[in-house]
Structure 1
Amino acid sequence: MSARLGFRLAAAGFALLAILVAALQARRPAPVSAPPAATIQQPRPIDARLARCQAIGAEGAQDPDCLKAWNDARTRFLGVRRAGG
């Protein structure tokens, strides 16, 4: 047997082994993970104000409390104040 034939047989065997391992892995059922534990968090006061503003819809665009709540939320997330707000 020549070295060239031996390398070809080894490569073919490796390819067959890889296909076999992939097929066996595909048949294995996915692991069942436990659902994440539900944590109940109390909404912060600013979140309650934003929820109220969302509930009143378009009227929130003229509501001073909503404008202040949105500005506070923007400042909290972005760390910058909006000019005129």
Structure 2
Amino acid sequence: MDGKLLARLGAIVFVAIVITATAIEMTRKDDALTSPPVRAIQPADDPLREGQLRCQELGQKAADDPQCLRVWSETRARFLGRTRAPAAPASNSGEGR
């Protein structure tokens, strides 16, 4: 068999396989379209999200804002999957004694 003939035969077989695979894929029912996409549900009143929006509005001033630094720290912890201990409430002198 000649090399050119073998190359042509291989190309024809390849094209036939591609056409067959395409026809099979087009006739197959797509299960992904029947099920709704999965989305993470965020609570409507997320205080962390509200803090992020506030810091976004501050712009460059947010880099010096202690609240924004706390919000960014909590955001990093949430993103990385770390659980943070709740911050100790500010102590009021004389209360609770």
**TM-score, structure 2 length as denominator?**
0.44
